[in-house]
Structure 1
Amino acid sequence: MHYIDITQQKIIDAQNIHYEYMRYVIKKKLNGKYFTEPKPNPNIKSIHIVSGIHSEVKRFLNVEKNLRKVLVGTPEELDSIKSRFTTKKEIDSIKRLFDYEMWIDYNPKSTYHFYNAYDLAKNLDIPTCPYCNRIYTKTVTNPTKITRPTFDHWFPKSKYPLLALSFYNLVPSCNICNMGKSNDPFSLNTHFHPYHKSVNPAEILSYRFSFDYKDYSSFKFKIVPDNTFSEKSTKAFKLEDIYKMHEDEIVDLRQIRDVYSVDYLEMVKKKILLNHISEEEIYRLAFGVHIDEAKFDRRPLSKMKKDILKELGII
């Protein structure tokens, strides 16, 4: 698990595009020909007004600050408005305006052909799942739309349809984490959200990978959380269970420890690479992952390997 740094320029740019394009579509659906602003993208097709929208929903979304909060509000802001509409007619209106299934349908005739799930995934460029850091979530769009991450709705869209297309409620993730996470209710002060980092130390994700073993060829992963927040978060995404398939990695690292001792990286540097590259590059070449926490999202298994390497005394 790792936080997604919302100060990164690519995240800010992706957010701005999401707001500009989605705002235009929603405004058109609400007001039709009475919304006369120019198209922000020439590839936008004709968008017709959605009839029968509940008056309270229309009034709320036509207030600019409200629509902005829905589309690009922070996780805290989304939490504050998630239950804004509760009646059957209001919910029906919301579902017709914020149609997630239409947005993920890459169809040349779709309203969202000019901007859809593939575009957001590509703009974000988050290469590994922020929940498990096990699986690549890279987006490939050439020559056709080939693959992209799934989008997890941290606030479930089935319960909170108003947030179905909210930028900070669309977490690019692997299918296993998206489909396999716990159905228990999440809240920002009890469970990890990739875009939310609390100022309260008790609500910050902090854990490490460790292991138990019967002998030198039989290891079992375990997660050691530093607080209740981290314990609930790692259990919700079943990290200990899903990492069982990677227990052979511990065997490999242990063999390095036994064969080459704790001086393995120094040996690689002096005997093979002749001091021509940095310590960080040596680590990446030796273990295939990044040592810098800020780059954990660039390579799968980065956190796990660093934690195990530290426990083994290799770094």
Structure 2
Amino acid sequence: MIISVPRNWESSEAEHREYLRTILREYYNQVDDMVGPPSYTYYFLKRVHRLILSRSLTHYRKSISLLENAIKQKNNNEFKDCIFREIKKVVDYESFCDKSQKYNAYTLCSKSKLRTCPYCNHSYSITTYETGRGFRPSLDHFYDKARYPHLGLSLYNLVPSCSSCNSSLKNTKDFFKDDHLHPFFDDEEIQFRIKSGNIINPMDIIRTPITSLKIETLYKSIKAKNSDSVFLINERYQYFIYEAYNFALAKLDFDEQIKNNNLFITREMKEKTSLRFDIDNYKHEMLGKLYKDIYIQFTLKL
């Protein structure tokens, strides 16, 4: 994860909570009207009801532990297959993706605060939708819905992302077993800088042929390192050395002009237009986090 957006779904929380609550309530009522004892699925969903309606990652993890403990106690593959199959019928993500539904994945994604994929920050995650038609980003299940089907519709388990990150790279990897950065709950812990060997000084870097430069990815935690490994951040960002280098050149040139008093309008106004970059809104731009880090690395002391 490169971009962090806490409470991304803030404007959707009430509507989505009611949507999921209604699905669960209808299931409970249907089972209550049946003859005979309810299945284990009924009791399990009742037990984790509050947890899967929550916006807390801690609650999600607790619900996963309850599911795994139940499966471990039964120690029966038929039981596991049965409860998974029944949960998927109730917590039906495929139905949620149906454009014909009044409330669906498209209406949810249209309320996302994210403009780019938070895992890579170099693909858009925008939504265009009218009733029955449109497109949207993939919704990654941070905790894989194949392993943890009860979280298939839990709001803060749904991360708008690009297909490369969701399907090609993350796919069904288990983020419960190994911690990774979550775009809605963790700080931005992956940083970038341009370097050549041991050279990181801005002026020395600019004098170095671009073919000898690379983008270095820095991590602040094991979670950040795990995320880099899954989403191949370091490998992918080497393709953006030209963008990073040209941005660094523009930044140094601007600072030199300011230093020599060659600019007569406010620094803030001129900088935004010269660099075509607003550091205060970097999260909304493709490669915005890369540009922010390069901006900091190449800011001259005036």
TM-score if structure 1 supplies the norm length?
0.75
Aligned partner of 2:182: which letter?
H
Distance 1:175 1:232, change over 3 A: same
TM-score, length of structure 2 as denominator length: 0.78
Among all aligned residue pairs of Structure 1 and Structure 2, give the percentage whose two residues are the same amino acid.
Answer: 25
Cα gap change, 1:52 to 1:213, in 2 (>3 Å): farther
Distance 2:84 2:274 in 1: 53
Q: Does 2:214 align with 1:220?
A: yes
From 181, 193, 218, give the equivalent of 1:192: 181
Greater RCO between the two (CA within 8 Å, min separation 6)?
2
Gaps of 5+ in 1: 35-48, 198-203
The one-letter code matched in structure 1 to 2:240 is H
CA contact (8 A) 2:139 2:160 kept: yes
Shift of 1:33: 10
Deviation at 1:306, TM superposition (A): 1.5
Matches within 5 A, 1:122-201: 122-142=110-130, 145-182=133-170, 185-187=174-176, 190-197=179-186
Seen in structure 2, the aligned counterparts of structure 1 residues 300 and 53 have a Cα distance that, compared at 3 Å, is farther
What is the letter of the counterpart of residue 71 of structure 1?
L
Q: Quick check: 1:75 aligned with 2:63?
A: no
Distance in 2, matches of 1:251 and 1:233, equals 25
C-alpha distance in structure 1 between counterparts of 2:34 and 2:107, whole Å:
24
> Relative to 1, partners in 2 of residues 1:154 and 1:70: Cα closer, same or farther, differing over 3 Å?
same
Q: 1:205 to 1:62 in 2, by over 3 A?
A: same
> Using a 3 Å threshold, how does the CA distance of structure 1 residues 306 and 13 change in structure 2: closer, same or farther?
closer
- The 8 Å contact of residues 251 and 275 in structure 2, kept in 1 or not, is answered as no
Give, in whole Å, the separation in 2 of the partners of 1:53 and 1:122: 42
Say whether residues 1:206 and 2:189 are aligned partners.
yes
| Distance in structure 2 (CA, Å) of the matches to 1:54 and 1:244 | 55
- Does residue 91 of the first structure (1) align with residue 89 of the second (2)? no
Query: 2:205 — aligned with what?
Result: none
Q: Which runs of 4+ in 1 moved over 4 A?
A: 49-54, 264-269
Which residue type is aligned with residue 194 of structure 2?
A: F
Confirm whether residue 59 of structure 1 aligns to residue 30 of structure 2: no
Contact 1:268 1:282 in 2 (8 A): no
Report the Cα offset of residue 177 of structure 1. 1.3
For the Cα contact (< 8 Å) 2:93–2:152, is it kept in 1? yes
Paired residue for 1:5?
A: 6
Q: Aligned to 2:214, what secondary structure does the other structure show?
A: strand
Report the secondary structure of 1:223's partner residue.
Answer: strand
Q: Counterpart of 2:165 in 1: which secondary structure?
A: helix
Instruction: Mark the CA change 1:302 to 1:57 in structure 2 (over 3 Å): closer, same or farther.
Output: same
Task: Assess if the C-alpha contact under 8 Å between 2:6 and 2:185 holds in 1.
Answer: no
What is the DSSP-based 3-state SS (H/G/I as helix, E as strand, rest coil) of the residue aligned with 2:94?
A: helix
Deviation of the 1:247 alpha carbon: 1.8
